[in-house]
């Protein structure tokens, strides 16, 4: 079998996506996701200019060799743009291989370890009461795990709250990133109050999660983790930026609140110490950022040795294609933890026909061959790219922080 053509399709059905479509001389094709939210055109150019030309004529069944060829052959290894490009190609190649084997991708990986995958969704409010209402509304839809975020009184809406909770829906053409305001000293005492109120309102049978989104120092995160212990969170996510992996030793010394990390990681080297020193409990790497199915499987197998569970990143900017790859890996992986699933806008569902489906608090892979997701190119052509950026965050004194 030979690769005859590779398309890179940039489209915005509610938000921007970069989709790879690999055609072969045997009529099979595979679909991959290569979206990096806010930097989509960089990945598309990396693919179109530097990757696609050198893959034409190669055997698409040689997935591992192509992965190594693109990773080592780049010379300039790692990084979100390179690894999203490799991910898009890799996801499409696994799609082709499973179709050639006439089986769903999870079967090719080793078969099912479960039939349904626990998911979590997001509730966010401008006030604690608004967030409580949002959590209760999701519980009534059958969710068994819910992430709760709240804005800081006196400050404009922050990450995960407010009317534009998903700031980057298409149609919001942005010449520059939105600038949010942050105040750690107001945030730290607020969050334990949120979860105290939530436990009063919903009891103990519901998994509650929180995402700090990279905004604290290790000692601040240790304080928050300890203050949250009475409320038994499923996890505290991204408490601190993780360039300094050993910084998480400080958090671990002070608190038993489980830690989730890794949505921005793109290789095993970003988390090797965090996992091998058991500094985290959930690894959030996802197919589109961590080297596709090949990269994801490698990291999750490594994590299984250290009691670290999977928790693939799955907000709206992870396309339904990557969600398809994730959910097949989720179905196979022995150390499954949870799958984030924010859901998608109707225009996105329409552009990406998919066999995975949600029922209440669970996601199901479906039994279609491959990863079960396709792209409708005619619909894609109706949704041109929209300039959009992720927000940035500054302290009240203007100091640049982490969004
Ligand atoms: C968030 C993401 O879902 C999460 O855990 O951290 O929504 C993140 O803000 C976006 O993926 C950024 O593009
Ligand atoms: Mg997150």
- Of 36, 211, 282, 392, the one to substitute when testing ligand 1's pocket (max ligand atoms within 8 A of C-beta) is 211
The reply to whether 167 falls in a domain is yes
373 belongs to a structural domain: no
Query: What pLDDT sits at residue 96?
Result: 99
Active site residue 371: no
Contacts of 397 (CB under 8 A, 6+ apart): none
Comparing 170 with 214, the larger pLDDT belongs to 214
Cα of 37 from ligand 1 centre, angstroms? 9
Same domain, 140 and 37: no
Tens of pLDDT, residues 225-284: 999 999 999 999 999 999 999 999 999 999 999 999 999 999 999 999 999 999 999 999
**182-198: per-residue pLDDT in tens?**
999 999 999 999 999 99
Same domain, 175 and 295: yes
Query: Would you say residue 250 lies in a domain?
Result: yes
Determine the pLDDT at residue 147. Answer: 98
Is there a single domain that holds both residue 250 and residue 294? yes
- Tell me: the pLDDT tens digits for 271-313? 999 999 999 999 999 999 999 999 999 999 999 999 999 999 9
The answer, yes or no, to whether residue 351 has pLDDT greater than 90, is yes
- Distance, in Å, from the CA atom of 86 to the CA atom of 380, rounded to the nearest integer, reads 22
Indicate the residue among 104, 135, 153 that finishes a domain. Answer: 104
Beta pairing, strands 207-211 & 282-283: unpaired
Among 122, 210, 213, 354, the one annotated catalytic: 213
- Residues 93 and 123 occupy one common structural domain: no
Specify whether 143 is located in the same domain as 216: yes
CA 264, 168, 314: angle at the middle one, nearest 5? Answer: 40
The verdict on residue 156 lying in a domain is yes
Residues 159 and 301 in one domain: yes
| Residue tagged active-site, from 159, 187, 282, 344 | 159
Q: Name the residue range of residue 358's domain.
A: 117-368
Q: Do 141 and 243 belong to one domain? A: yes
Task: Read off the CATH number of the domain in which 24 is found.
Answer: 3.30.390.10
Distance of alpha carbon 110 from its chain centroid, rounded? 23
State which of 83, 104, 125 marks the end of a domain.
104
**CATH code of residue 212:** 3.20.20.120
Give the Å distance between the CA of 213 and the centre of ligand 2. 6
What pLDDT does 178 receive?
87
The pLDDT of residue 176 is 85
Evaluate whether 293 touches 285 at the Cβ level (below 8 Å). no
Q: Read off the pLDDT of each residue in 369-388 and give the average, rounded to a whole number.
A: 96
Annotated active-site residue 159? The verdict is: yes
Choose the final residue of a domain: 51, 70, 104.
104
Is the CB–ligand 1 distance for residue 315 below 6 Å? yes
249 and 211 housed in the same domain: yes
> Nearest C-alpha to atom 2 of ligand 1 is from which residue?
315
- 376: in domain: no
Residues 33 and 87 in one domain: yes
Is 290 exposed, middle or buried (CB count within 10 Å of its CB: 0-12, 13-18, 19+)?
Answer: buried
Query: In a 3-state reduction of DSSP, which class is residue 358?
Result: strand
185 and 226 belong to one structural domain: yes
126 and 87 in a common domain:
no
Report the greatest alpha carbon distance in the chain: 61
Does 181 fall in a domain? yes
- Structural domains counted in the chain: 2
Q: How far is the CA of 137 from the centre of ligand 1 (A)?
A: 21
Q: Are residues 241 and 218 in the same domain?
A: yes
pTM of this prediction? Answer: 0.97
Q: What is the mean pLDDT of residues 340-356?
A: 96
Per cent of the chain over pLDDT 90 is 92
Please indicate whether residue 319, judged by its CB atom, sits closer than 6 Å to ligand 1. no
Residues of 106-118 as b/e, b for ≥16 C-beta within 10 angstroms? Answer: bbbbeeeeeeebb
Cβ of 37 closer than 6 Å to ligand 1, yes or no, is yes
Interatomic CA distance for residues 343 and 321, integer angstroms: 13
Rounding to the nearest 10 degrees, give the CA dihedral for residues 133, 210, 119, 385.
Answer: 90
Any domain includes 109? no
| pLDDT digits 0-9 by tens, 159-169 | 888 765 554 44
pLDDT tens across 75-126, in order?
Answer: 999 999 999 999 999 999 999 999 999 999 999 999 999 999 999 999 999 9
Would 381 be classed as within a structural domain?
Answer: no
pLDDT over 60 at 173, yes or no:
no
Mean pLDDT, all residues of the chain:
96
Closest atom of ligand 1 to 122 CA is 3
- Give the CA-trace dihedral at 42, 45, 50, 54, to 10 degrees: 130
Residues 225 and 198: beta-carbon distance below 8 Å: no
Contact indicator for 292, 322 with CB cutoff of 8 Å:
no
Query: So what's the pLDDT on residue 170?
Result: 41
Cα 144 to the center of its chain, rounded Å: 19
């Amino acid at each position: 079998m030979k690769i005859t053509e590779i398309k890179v399709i940039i489209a915005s059905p509610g938000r921007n996506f970069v989709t790879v479509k690999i055609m072969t001389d045997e009529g099979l094709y595979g679909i991959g996701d290569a979206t990096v939210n806010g930097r989509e055109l960089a990945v598309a150019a990396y693919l179109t200019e530097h990757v696609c030309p050198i893959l034409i004529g190669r055997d698409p069944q040689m997935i591992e060799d192509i992965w190594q060829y693109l990773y080592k052959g780049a010379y300039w290894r790692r990084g979100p743009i390179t690894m999203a490009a490799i991910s898009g190609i890799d996801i499409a190649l696994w799609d082709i291989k499973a179709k050639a084997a006439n089986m769903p991708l999870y079967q090719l990986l080793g078969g099912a370890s479960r039939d349904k995958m626990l998911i979590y969704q997001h509730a966010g409010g401008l006030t604690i009461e608004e967030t409580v209402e949002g959590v209760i509304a999701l519980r009534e839809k059958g969710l068994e795990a819910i992430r709760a975020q709240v804005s800081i009184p006196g400050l404009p809406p922050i990450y995960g709250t407010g009317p534009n909770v998903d700031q980057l829906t298409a149609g919001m053409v942005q010449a520059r990133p939105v600038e949010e305001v942050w105040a750690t000293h107001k945030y730290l005492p607020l969050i334990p109050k949120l979860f105290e109120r939530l436990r009063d309102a919903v009891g103990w049978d519901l998994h509650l999660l929180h995402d700090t989104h990279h905004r604290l120092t290790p000692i601040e995160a240790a304080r928050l983790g300890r203050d949250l212990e009475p409320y038994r969170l499923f996890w505290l996510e991204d408490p601190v930026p993780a360039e300094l992996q050993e910084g998480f030793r400080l958090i671990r010394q002070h608190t038993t609140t489980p830690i989730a990390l890794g949505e921005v990681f793109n290789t095993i080297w970003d988390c090797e110490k965090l996992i091998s020193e058991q500094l985290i409990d959930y690894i959030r790497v996802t197919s589109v950022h961590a080297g596709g199915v090949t990269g994801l499987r490698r990291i999750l197998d490594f994590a299984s040795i250290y009691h670290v569970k999977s928790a693939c990143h799955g907000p709206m900017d992870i396309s339904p294609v990557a969600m398809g790859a994730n959910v097949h890996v989720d179905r196979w992986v022995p150390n499954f933890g949870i799958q984030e699933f924010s859901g998608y806008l109707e225009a996105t569902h329409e552009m990406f026909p998919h066999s995975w489906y949600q029922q209440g608090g669970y996601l199901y892979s479906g039994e279609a061959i491959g990863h079960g997701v396709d792209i409708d190119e005619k619909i894609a052509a109706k949704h041109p790219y929209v300039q959009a950026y992720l927000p940035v965050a500054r302290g009240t004194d203007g100091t640049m922080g982490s969004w």
